[in-house]
Structure 1
Amino acid sequence: MNPPIPTAPPPSRWLPILLALSIFMQMLDATILNTALPKMALDLNESPLNMQSAVVSYTLTLALLTPMSGYLCDRYGTRKVFTIAMSLFVGGSALAAASPNLPLLVFARVLQGMGGAMLMPVPRLVVMRAYDKTRLLGMMNFIIMPALLGPVMGPLVGGYLVEYASWHWIFLINVPIGLLGIALTPRLMPDFHAPGGERPHFDALGFLMFSSGAVSLSLAVEMLNHPGAWLFAGLCAVFGILALMFYRRHAIADPQALYTPDLLKVRTFRLGVLGNMISRLGMASVPFLLPLLLQVAFGRSASLVGWVLAPIALGALLTKPMVKPLITRFGYRHVLIWNTRLIGLMIMSLALPDAETPLWLLIPLLFAMGICNSLQYSSMNTLTISDLRPYQAGSGTSLMAVNQQLSISVGIALGALLLNWFSGSAHTHSSQLADAFDQTFLIIGAITFCSSWVFTRLHPHDGSSLVAKKA
């Protein structure tokens, strides 16, 4: 008689709270920094227009290390990976708070990114393995809800902290939350490894080639912000292109490559990834540029700017129930074409306000921008993976997530590059600086508007299997 197969003990009732806490901490940190950048620049003896590296370093690290999270969990277990991720995030937060200069702050943000790259995927993996399918949707919604609240609270908390305390507290608030999570992990976190005890496979060579190529191309854009480093930027661009070319050859030869070339043979995935990358360039730079415009060029307080930015996240949060009915009524192709153009026009309209414009006039525009952003992200993400085969789903979802983070880092670097180019030596003249912001918004808005061309290549019925139309 065969011995009974051991079953995993039921998860603790407090497990969802631990998972939700980790996601909230990561999402709050991702949005809290933007309103604090001008005050941080003053304290670190840097120009506010050169602080983008503090944001780019974090998003770029997320993009590069996220693909490793699944392998690390299968190889070393979710409990150990989660503990290390929280420790890295807490350590990076403490180091960021103590940073006396921008280079050390960037290093601390990289450490935070190393932890953050696992703080989002690991909770989703734990939920999928710990709970029955009948409870999966409810638990997933519970732990993801903080991810929706973080962008609303981030600008407000960041604005008030830098105005009434100091910018160091935007990092220090992570420390007690993280330490609590680390203390509770041994008791609450299940320890899942690879299913069936199989040895997980990871394409280390492909990861190194793809990552080095992506990092080099992102650094090339970032280095263009420093006139003395243009030669280095050119070398980074050449190296990045060569690395990705070598990766393509590797992926063709290795059926277990990190991202197999057959992904790009799926038309909706190919167009979704391309449209995602280009349209997000402008959309990602707005949360970085707008707080700088309002504080540095218009002289508004950080706390007031936090309130002005909140409608973007609030509009995105309230739009979620509307996404499916809109797509069902008009289809993915029409929604993405016209919504992308509308977002581009709204970004360009940010060039209209001046220092005398009442800030309350911006609230309807930013609320509408949040609505359109939410519709855009949901539409692009679901369409991109809609036609993937089951064996492509894991690799395609990972590549889509990496593409999103890369587009954020490149978009912020591009926005900073344009702003520095147009501002020249006018960093201390608010009127000329405001003109530089206007020109930057016009260009990044035009880029977003023109990215709608990618979605014109979609067929009218693409994605129709994802929505049920009423008879």
Structure 2
Amino acid sequence: MVSSSVGQKSLIAPMIVACAMFMESVDENVILTALPTMARDFGHDVVTLKVAVTSYAVGLGAFIPACGWLADRFGARTVFRSAIGIFVVGSLLCAAANSLITFALARFVQGVGGAMMVPVGRIIIFRVVQRADIIRAMNYLTIPAIVGPAAGPLLGGLITTYSHWRLVFLVNVPISILGICLTNRHIANTCEPHPGRLDWTGFFLSGAGAALLLLGLSLIGCEIVSNRDAFCMGVMGAVLLAGYVVHERRVPLPLLDLHFFHIPTFRASVLGGSLFRIGLGALPFLLSLMLQEGYGMSAFESGLVTCASAFGAVFTRTVAPRMLRRYGFRSVLVANAALSGVSVAAHGLFFPCTPTWIIWVVVLLGGFFPALQLTTLNSLTYAEIASRDVGRATSLGSAVHRMSLSLSVTIGGIILQISRAANGHASLMWSDFWPAFLLVGLCSLASIPITLRLPRQAGEEITRAGRI
């Protein structure tokens, strides 16, 4: 009885962090079903509004690298609480925006809050949860990661159809206030005693490099700047990131320590997982546009279809630990990456006469397999990471993950624009979407070679100790 009570108390912090992550995940995806309406309000093409999605990722990419140092220096609770506050300020600015540029800037502010909120939340969990409870704790984090992209479009569609899209950002205000109160009460302000000085040069090279690369790619084919300027921004970002790789080898405490990639479990989780996330991140964006622009559904109707993935994700919570104990991390990651890639690519097989129940089943499977993959990847990330290195490992892993998710929307949007131009369509048609779904599905399959390099016994310590 005492052990059970202690276990339940140790999972209070993961539940609080999961709620904050759910809010962040919903908000990141809530505009997807509202994009056509917002495009009309702002006077831009609907594909151009992908910059409104990726500008959030630009804020993430710029500030995630510093999250580990900030948590070690000022305490995880202090940074987590501040991140929630910045996030809600960005939400209020989004609701008040009157142009695409001001809205993109407001999303950037939200991204700054999200850059600290999600990675620092992971640090909190690792520091307060015993290794025996790590799989169960990671299950709490996987549900927001999968349900958020489904609930976001549903909520956005409901509010956009029956009210106004600006209201979707006001939902964050009471949730954020509650999150700050619960954080003060239930989360300890853990920190490392000597985090060292912040690597300012590394912060500039990695943050500016990631921001310019993501922003440049997202602006290609948009009406805001010329393709030449967008391409130049992307090249500048790539050069800065290359400069960081050189800089990282010359400093004793780099902001993003690339040596963690020498750890097999971390490399498979972060690098292989990032390729997988490219397929996962593009799916809600492409599906919402296809259902509305291609099939003529309302925002709410498309949200009802998209939310099917949430049911598959919730089911994963009971299946994942059993499968990991029986088959091991390596086997589950390899087989499930193939199933996930196929389920994502299958969305491109829809056509206007496809029965709704078939679409719903495919979307359901498109929630289950990716959720299982994320649970496995998240549990494996810290399998061989010492407690003192959690902050720095989280910064690196989160930065790579977020870049892959933002690249997914950018890549999906570019392929969509190319497909539309090749078909000679002035506006999006349902036949323009299948190449984008196929490509992002192949990205999930591309993670398999990295995962195959894992030892067969990888993660056994976690599965032996894990309690469900």
Q: TM-score, normalised by structure 2?
A: 0.84
- Residue 453 of structure 1 corresponds to which residue in structure 2? 449
1:218 is aligned, of 214, 218, 222, to 214
1:296 Cα deviation from its structure 2 partner: 0.8
Is residue 98 of structure 1 aligned with residue 111 of structure 2?
A: no
- Residue 264 of structure 1 corresponds to which residue in structure 2? 261
Q: Matches of 1:230 and 1:321 in 2, distance apart?
A: 47
- Residue 164 of structure 2 corresponds to which residue in structure 1? 166
Give the root-mean-square deviation of aligned CA atoms: 3.5
Paired letter, 1:117: A
- Residue 6 of structure 1 corresponds to which residue in structure 2? none
Is residue 245 of structure 1 aligned with residue 242 of structure 2?
A: yes
For residues 28-52 of structure 1, what are the alpha-carbon distances to aligned partners after superposition, in whole Å with 9 as ceiling and x for unaligned?
Answer: 3123222221221122112222211
Alignment of 1:418-457 (within 5 A): 418-424=415-421, 428-429=426-427, 433-457=429-453
- Tell me the secondary structure at the aligned position of residue 154 of structure 1: helix
2:407 is aligned, of 407, 410, 423, to 410
Query: Unaligned regions of 5+ residues in structure 2, if any?
Result: 1-8
Paired letter, 1:438: W
Contact in 2 for aligned 1:263/1:392 (Cα 8 Å): no
1:60 is aligned, of 43, 58, 69, to 58
- Residue 6 of structure 2 corresponds to which residue in structure 1? none
Is residue 340 of structure 1 aligned with residue 337 of structure 2?
A: yes
Q: Matches of 1:468 and 1:22 in 2, distance apart?
A: 29
Contact in 1 for aligned 2:71/2:191 (Cα 8 Å): yes
Cα–Cα, structure 1 residues 272 and 203, in superposed 2: closer, same or farther, change >3 Å?
same
For residues 348-379 of structure 1, what are the alpha-carbon distances to aligned partners after superposition, in whole Å with 9 as ceiling and x for unaligned?
Answer: 22122111222221111111121110111122
Percent of aligned positions that are identical: 31
Paired letter, 1:294: L
Cα–Cα, structure 1 residues 372 and 190, in superposed 2: closer, same or farther, change >3 Å?
closer
Is residue 367 of structure 1 aligned with residue 349 of structure 2?
A: no
Cα–Cα, structure 1 residues 375 and 23, in superposed 2: closer, same or farther, change >3 Å?
closer
Cα–Cα, structure 1 residues 353 and 185, in superposed 2: closer, same or farther, change >3 Å?
closer
- Residue 464 of structure 1 corresponds to which residue in structure 2? 460
Paired letter, 1:172: L
1:383 Cα deviation from its structure 2 partner: 3.2
1:61 Cα deviation from its structure 2 partner: 1.7
Alignment of 1:30-429 (within 5 A): 30-76=28-74, 81-82=79-80, 84-122=82-120, 147=144, 150-179=148-177, 184=181, 188=185, 192=189, 194=191, 198=194, 200-226=196-222, 229-389=226-386, 391-424=388-421, 428-429=426-427
1:91 Cα deviation from its structure 2 partner: 2.2
Contact in 1 for aligned 2:278/2:444 (Cα 8 Å): yes
Q: Matches of 1:359 and 1:446 in 2, distance apart?
A: 25
1:79 Cα deviation from its structure 2 partner: 6.5
Contact in 2 for aligned 1:312/1:369 (Cα 8 Å): yes
For residues 117-156 of structure 1, what are the alpha-carbon distances to aligned partners after superposition, in whole Å with 9 as ceiling and x for unaligned?
Answer: 2333455656777x79699879968985983664453232
1:60 Cα deviation from its structure 2 partner: 3.1
1:201 Cα deviation from its structure 2 partner: 3.2
Greater Rg over alpha carbons, structure: 1
- Tell me the secondary structure at the aligned position of residue 357 of structure 1: coil
Paired letter, 1:448: S
- Tell me the secondary structure at the aligned position of residue 349 of structure 2: coil
Query: Unaligned regions of 5+ residues in structure 1, if any?
Result: 1-10
1:394 Cα deviation from its structure 2 partner: 3.2
Cα–Cα, structure 1 residues 179 and 459, in superposed 2: closer, same or farther, change >3 Å?
closer
Cα–Cα, structure 1 residues 413 and 336, in superposed 2: closer, same or farther, change >3 Å?
same
1:291 Cα deviation from its structure 2 partner: 0.5
Paired letter, 1:258: L
1:216 Cα deviation from its structure 2 partner: 2.8
Q: Matches of 2:244 and 2:56 in 1, distance apart?
A: 24
Cα–Cα, structure 1 residues 18 and 236, in superposed 2: closer, same or farther, change >3 Å?
same
Q: Which moved more, 1:26-35 or 1:305-314?
A: 26-35
Cα–Cα, structure 1 residues 414 and 429, in superposed 2: closer, same or farther, change >3 Å?
closer
Contact in 2 for aligned 1:75/1:193 (Cα 8 Å): no
- Residue 24 of structure 2 corresponds to which residue in structure 1? 26
Paired letter, 1:63: G
Paired letter, 1:214: A
Cα–Cα, structure 1 residues 60 and 238, in superposed 2: closer, same or farther, change >3 Å?
closer
Cα–Cα, structure 1 residues 79 and 373, in superposed 2: closer, same or farther, change >3 Å?
closer
Q: Matches of 2:141 and 2:344 in 1, distance apart?
A: 28
1:420 Cα deviation from its structure 2 partner: 0.7
Q: Matches of 1:379 and 1:103 in 2, distance apart?
A: 38
Q: How many residues align?
A: 453
Cα–Cα, structure 1 residues 440 and 37, in superposed 2: closer, same or farther, change >3 Å?
same
Q: Matches of 1:210 and 1:298 in 2, distance apart?
A: 41
Q: Which moved more, 1:290-299 or 1:114-123?
A: 114-123
Cα–Cα, structure 1 residues 419 and 390, in superposed 2: closer, same or farther, change >3 Å?
same
- Tell me the secondary structure at the aligned position of residue 35 of structure 1: coil
